[in-house]
Amino acid sequence: MEDRYKYVKRLEFWLSIVTVVAAVIALMQTKQQIKLSNKQHLFDKRVEQYLIAKGLIQLYENNDTILVFKENEPILSIDFIFMQMTNNTYMEQMVDVISHPLEEPYHKKFLIRLEELKEISTKIKFIFSGKEAILLGDYILHYQELLFKMYQYQILLGKLKDASQEFRLTIEKARETVGENQYREELQKAVDNLKQAYDVLKKGKVEEKIEQQITLR
């Protein structure tokens, strides 16, 4: 009877040990799964934001030659330039706004996309590390600012046309009336800022360094 009692006790002891070990293993597996899940989530976020940024880099590379404006002349082709600078699947919902400035729903969609670009700039600086994250985020922000300046300039061209027709003004007088020179200078500054941001990306091989960070290990 005593031997049976000892046997039962030993069995209970080993069962409790097995239970504890099993619980520890399960906990370790859960922690590992959470770790892998977090890595996968970070990987997905990095890929998503980088592909958008990569698309904007390619748009600039494909269209940098049309971002050269003649000095002291109105930029009458700004609508075409805007369409080229938004010519990919992510930016396509912006395109129609340049033909319908201040009209809904185009205006609202445009503003929403501009805000999204600001968010992408911020996200990139958080989910990537190092100086290259800041440089890439700044590039997105400069791209967003250029699109906004183009949109403002297109609105100005509409006012210039109206002033010329309504008051029978010459183009030069209409430009002076609506302040075209100031808007064109601001637009040129936005172009210069984007070019500088792009040149910094290329000089610092930012794309290659960012791609190295997008690794699921």
- Maximum distance among all Cα pairs of the chain, rounded to whole angstroms: 118
- Give the Cα separation of 149 and 69 in Å (integer): 14
Instruction: Give Cα 112 distance to the centre of its chain.
Output: 13
Residue 68 DSSP label: -
Per-residue pLDDT tens, the chain, 217 aa: give them: 556 666 656 666 666 676 656 555 655 655 555 455 556 667 889 999 999 999 999 999 999 999 999 888 899 999 999 999 999 999 998 999 999 999 999 999 999 999 999 999 999 999 999 999 999 999 999 999 999 999 999 999 999 888 877 778 677 887 878 888 899 999 999 999 999 999 999 999 999 999 999 975 4
Domain spans in the chain, listed from the N-terminal domain onward:
45-213
3-state SS track over 99-135: CCCCCCCHHHHHHHHHHHHHHHHHHHHHHCCCHHHHH
pLDDT value for 204: 95
